[in-house]
Amino acid sequence: MILLADPDPKSRGVLRAVLEHAGHEVMAVATGLEAAQVLMETMPRLIVLDLDVKWLSGRQLIGVLRHNPRTALIPMVALSGTIEDLGGIPILLRPVAGDQLLALVARFLPAVSHHDGRL
C-alpha cells in the first residue's frame, strides 16, 4: 500500500487515480496528522508526501518517521513547489506528471506493473 498525503483534493484525487490505475493500492489523506494516524495502524510500502500538508507539516512528519525505528526504513517521495534538501528523499516538483510519479514509485516498488501514467 502507498500512503499519499496531499492537502489539495483535486491533486490528491488525480495522483490516487494514477497510482491505482497502475495497480497500486493507495490510502489517501489530506493532512500530516491523518498520515501519522494511518501509520499507527498500518505499514505502507511507500509514502508520497506533499511538504505543505497541515496539522503536522511534511517536513515535521519526515523527521518523526526517520527517528522512529518502526518507520525509519519506509521509502518516501516528497511533492513540493521548490527544490530543497531532504536528506536523500527524492522530490517531485509540482505540478506532478503521472509518468514522473510512476517512474519514481517504480524505483521503490519495482514488482508492481509499469504503466505510462495516462488515465
Q: Are 77 and 48 in contact (CB under 8 A)?
A: yes
pLDDT in tens, 14-23: 999 999 999 9
Kindly state the DSSP code that residue 5 receives in the 8-state scheme: E
Q: Which pLDDT does position 111 carry in this prediction?
A: 56
Q: Which pLDDT does position 55 carry in this prediction?
A: 84
Q: Which pLDDT does position 65 carry in this prediction?
A: 93
Q: Which pLDDT does position 114 carry in this prediction?
A: 45
| Residues paired with residue 76 on neighbouring β-strands, in sequence order | 47
Structure-block grid coordinates of residue 57:
507539516
Q: How many angstroms separate the Cα of 26 from the Cα of each of 2, 21, 86, 109?
A: 5, 10, 23, 13
Angle at 38 between CA 32 and CA 41, to 5 degrees: 150
pLDDT in tens, 56-89: 888 899 999 999 999 999 999 999 988 888 889 9
Assigned architecture for domain 2-108? 3-Layer(aba) Sandwich (3.40)
Q: CB under 8 Å, gap of 24 or more: what pairs does 75-79 form?
A: 75/45, 75/46, 75/47, 75/108, 76/46, 76/47, 76/48, 76/49, 77/46, 77/47, 77/48, 77/49, 77/101, 77/104, 77/105, 77/108, 78/49, 78/50, 78/51, 79/6, 79/48, 79/49, 79/50, 79/51
